[in-house]
Amino acid sequence: MTDKILSHIDATLESRLDRLCDLIRIPSVSTDPAHKPDVARAAEWLAATLREMGAEASVRPTPGHPMVVGHLPGPADAPHVLFYGHYDVQPPDPLDLWETEPFEPVLRPVEGDTHIVARGASDDKGALMTFVEACRAYAEVAGGLPLRVSFLFEGEEESGSASLPGFLAGAAEELACDIVLVCDTDMWDRETPAVTTMLRGLVGQEITIRAADRDLHSGMFGNAAANALTVLTGLLASLRTQDGGVAVAGFYDDVRELAPETAAQWAALPFDEAGFLRDVGLSVPAGEADRSVLHQLWARPSCEIHGIWGGYTDPGFKTVIPCEAHAKLSFRLVAAQDPLTIRDAFQAHIRARLPEDCTVSFTDHGLAPAWAMAGENPFLAPTLAALADEWGRSTTCGTGGSIPIIGALKGALGVDALLVGFGRFDNRIHSPNEKFDLSSFHKGMRSWVRIIDRLGACRSS
């Protein structure tokens, strides 16, 4: 049966691509109030698409943009999976850097492949539709799926998911499942699909230092008056150690060493440390000196400064001693680190070093725990085997990024997630000229068919 479904996908690829392009053409930019009707239209389009496939599906209102929820029946003793995706997209700006219209998908032939160029082509409409179309193809050929499948499509992921926690709290019973499937990550390389098993958490902070009650003339007050920018930059410099670590007291207390089997898997990955940095014009790793680049990115926490401002920054020159200075920074966390504990330790570090006559204030910009898949997850091995059936290889990997939604889903539903992605590193998500490879779309659908088959065989005893 699997071969028949895969052949059916091959034979109907054009119509499946047409549906993806129809969804892409809806400019569902969640952060822009002017596009609120478009976001609602995309939700209705997805609900109608699920109903066409035989699912029970509806658009659910929230205080923000709507959710789409759907259900496809399956054998009672088969696993119940919940597929999560988001249908909202980033704004297309800056428009002058696009080579084509952002919401009119263009098929651009490249050597050995075709790029689908448009906003949302990769993040997350193309990825979302690989699963939807795999379920459609399975039902068209087999008459039904060997799994019970629920769908949850969100319209606020790109603008902070403000409505998601409340919605999950109210819909937890309806969305109860054995595993959450997410297709919002990348492959390891162009030919190797991956299951992401580790995400870093996030603590985002904005800091404001205030010194004098007004900006001062540097000739009249220089040396004698505290300079808010000088104070701030000194405080920021104190956050890092000479060997590239983080100097905040207690920062590493809950950091665990990587499991030996995971370390061995990572060591076997074909990763070019020098090439990774060379591609962005660098050559020397800047993190902990005794850790490999992959370990720095995936398994170690970090501290990075994102912006500093204060004083006079307009054209020309002004000899002012600024009374205020500001910075934005973030900490990426690993499993077992508590975001609130790290935030409080950072703020205590700053306050303990603050000079007299200066004050400090802080603003939170996100608190999210790290996530790591449980090692005994029974659905991981079948998924890796299914991916290898399609691609000839598969692997697990981590990622240095944060996906707070995974923690929200686990907290509300009490189950783990499988992060299976078919994006490529060069997809330019959030940037002008975003693209999704046609091969990713095609083989992504085929991969999900194989995964559905494998997971469907995991019957309860």
* 302-347 tens-digit pLDDT: 999 999 999 999 999 999 999 999 999 999 999 899 999 999 999 9
Q: Which residue has the tokens 């926690």?
A: 165
Number of domains in the chain: 2
CA–CA dist 48, 56 (Å, integer): 10
Given a contact cutoff of 8 angstroms between Cβ atoms, the answer to whether 293 and 276 are in contact is yes
Task: Identify the domain boundary among 335, 352, 368.
Answer: 368
Spatial strand order in the sheet of 106-110: 106-110, 113-117, 435-437
CATH of the domain at 291: 3.30.70.360
CA–CA dist 457, 452 (Å, integer): 9
Q: Domain span at residue 68?
A: 2-199+370-456
* 237-282 tens-digit pLDDT: 999 999 999 999 999 999 999 888 888 888 888 899 999 999 889 9
326 shares its domain with 340: yes
75 shares its domain with 20: yes
Task: Identify the domain boundary among 335, 368, 401.
Answer: 368
* 160-219 tens-digit pLDDT: 899 999 999 999 999 999 999 999 999 999 999 999 999 999 999 999 999 999 999 999
165 shares its domain with 36: yes
pTM of the model: 0.86
Q: Examine residue 272 and state whether it is found in any structural domain, yes or no.
A: no
Asked whether the predicted pLDDT for residue 415 surpasses 70, the reply is yes
Tell me, what amino acid is at 450? R
CA–CA dist 105, 39 (Å, integer): 18
* 85-121 tens-digit pLDDT: 999 999 999 999 999 999 999 999 999 999 999 999 9
What secondary structure does DSSP assign to 380-431, as a single string? HHHHHHHHHHHHS--EEEEESS--HHHHHHHHHH---EEEEE-B-TTS-TTS
End-to-end C-alpha distance for the chain, whole angstroms: 24
* 148-170 tens-digit pLDDT: 999 999 999 999 899 999 999 99
214 shares its domain with 194: no
358 shares its domain with 383: no
**Tokens standing for 85?**
């995706």
Report the SS3 class of residue 164.
helix
